[in-house]
Structure 1
């Protein structure tokens, strides 16, 4: 039986390097899905995305965070949580390597939701490209509903939200 663990991506240099690779894989895959050429390195991303990859600690600083899923000791997925407006946390960079899909994304999202509850956020939001129907359906199964845009994103996105359950 495989052993799955979720770890703080920024706890050590090794986990931070793994996080940078996974976030880059996510960004590269997203660029391809939206019709852009596949970037071969961080330096081939738009400047704002390069900055994110190179400074994950700043982007995902507390009260947010960035976590990696490790399967049998190997990083296979990530999810980030960014503090937005008062009481709102944004899910970013949910990614599971294709060979490991089928449950790890839900575990990562549950971890992010619990972190949001522990930090007293009131709602969690996520922004998804309209063509990513699988991700939109996944979020809806997790209780997300339609929301108004929560930032000035230059592209058309599907904005979703769900309340945070405090126990």
Structure 2
């Protein structure tokens, strides 16, 4: 997790933007503030330091002093696996390699923390994102219960 309070505010803003966009994509009401998120998502957004505590991490990307993207790593239920969560780059910074750079750091963190596998679920409608993960070496995995429930694609990659 980012160490400073400035980084925590930036992380919360980025994760909220990601969650709000996801709510819109899913056809749900778009929240204007964190307290309008569904309970589980609101709790995650308010307690990022707990959700992404070591050996997990919440990595932030900056363009100068401007926070532009994030990706979370949370230990998974599978032994020695870490779940990739909330990969997000602000729209005005997309297409500049920020997501690839965040994922490179995420992969490096996973190895350094002793994980052997990365896992993730992504909305099946996000075909560009799925293609991006496949270019990074991710392959289809056994669907998780959440993936089945929410029509998501499960992917995995060895560290």
Q: Which residue pairs with 1:25 in the alignment?
A: 17
Normalised by the size of structure 1, how large is the TM-score?
0.90
Query: Superposed, which structure 2 residues align to 1:77-96 within 5 Å?
Result: 77-84=69-76, 85-96=78-89
CA distance in 2, matches of 1:137, 1:152: 20
Query: Number of aligned pairs?
Result: 156
Bigger RCO of structures 1 and 2 (CA < 8 A, at least 6 apart): 1
Deviations 1:109-140 (A, max 9, x none): 01000000111111101100000111101000
Are 2:155 and 1:163 equivalent residues in the alignment?
Answer: no
The yes-or-no answer on 1:145 pairing with 2:139 is yes
Task: Name the residue aligned to 1:107.
Answer: 101
In structure 2, the partner of 1:37 is: 29
* Alignment gaps of 5+ in structure 1: 1-7
> 1:151, CA displacement in angstroms?
4.7
Q: Can you list the C-alpha shifts for 1:58-113, whole angstroms capped at 9, x where unaligned?
A: 10011010011000111000000000121100000000000001210000001000
Hey, what's the Cα distance between the residues in 2 that align with 1:82 and 1:150?
A: 15
- Partner residue of 1:47 out of 27, 31, 39: 39
| Residue number in structure 2 paired with 1:59 | 51
Greater helix share, structure number: 2
- Which of 149-158 and 34-43 deviates more? 149-158
The more displaced of 144-153 and 73-82 is 144-153
Q: Give ranges in structure 2 of 5+ residues lacking alignment.
A: none
What is the Cα-based RMSD across aligned positions, in Å? 1.1
